[in-house]
């Protein structure tokens, strides 16, 4: 969660929580829905 700077509500909240359909495995990306008026968008999934 720290890699993308997610707020708790963005990770597990009912309004913006992470969803399985937000994961794009083939493209190695995830769509993050932001809270508090921030811009939502696509972020890379990087193996560390």
* pLDDT score recorded for residue 3: 56
* pLDDT score recorded for residue 29: 92
Tens-level pLDDT at each residue, the chain (48 residues): 445 577 787 788 777 778 889 899 999 998 888 888 788 889 888 877
Degrees to nearest 5, angle at CA 37 with 18 and 31? 30
Q: Which helix (H) or strand (E) holds 11?
A: helix 8-12
Domain locations along the chain: 8-44
Which ranges of the chain would DSSP assign to H, the alpha helix?
8-12
């Amino acid at each position: 969660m720290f890699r993308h700077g997610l707020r708790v509500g963005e990770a597990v909240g009912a309004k913006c929580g992470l969803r399985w359909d937000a994961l794009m495995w083939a493209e190695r990306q995830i769509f993050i829905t932001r809270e508090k008026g921030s811009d939502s968008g696509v972020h890379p999934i990087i193996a560390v």
